[in-house]
Amino acid sequence: MSSKRTLIFLLVESVFVFGLDAFGEPRPKYIPPTYLNINISDEPEAPLSNHLQKCFDFIDKARQANGRVLVHCVAGVSRSGAVVVGYSMKEQGLSYERALAFVRKSRSSVCPNEGFKAQLENFDFQRQN
């Protein structure tokens, strides 16, 4: 995410970032004007579910405005992956496993940590009841 040229080439105008200036993670060199930063560690006990609605609202608003959103964390595996999986669950009505498989078609390394997985499974349960 550090390349302004790359983001402009990809027409990315909205960025969702985990851990900007937190947890010793590097600050990107360029951040588009529309961004959301959530300071949450990639630990199983981290309260991802407390932030899901805010994440989903940001993604919805950004997609309505320009259609392209980059969801970013240091490795692009657990935190950002969990939010994209959760968003796919919400938008497409998928179970956790089906949403994970869907997201992995685009990024095979996505693997939310066990705590995030449990929180997303609980999110799925609450949606259905």
Q: Which has more pLDDT, 26 or 84? A: 84
The count of other CB atoms within 10 Å of the CB of residue 39 is: 14
Total count of domains within the chain: 1
- Residues identified as active-site: 73
**Amino acid letter, 57:** D
Which has the higher per-residue pLDDT, 106 or 3? Answer: 106
Instruction: Please tell me which residue, 15 or 96, carries the higher pLDDT value.
Output: 96
At 18, is the secondary structure helix, strand, or coil? Answer: strand
Model confidence pLDDT, tens digit, residues 95-114: 999 999 999 999 999 999 99
* Alpha helices, H only, the chain: 4-9, 52-65, 79-92, 96-104, 114-128
Q: What is the pLDDT of residue 22?
A: 46
CATH code, 94: 3.90.190.10
Domain interval for residue 57: 4-128
pLDDT in tens, 36-61: 778 888 899 999 999 999 889 988 88
On whether the CB atoms of residues 75 and 23 are closer than 8 A, the answer is no
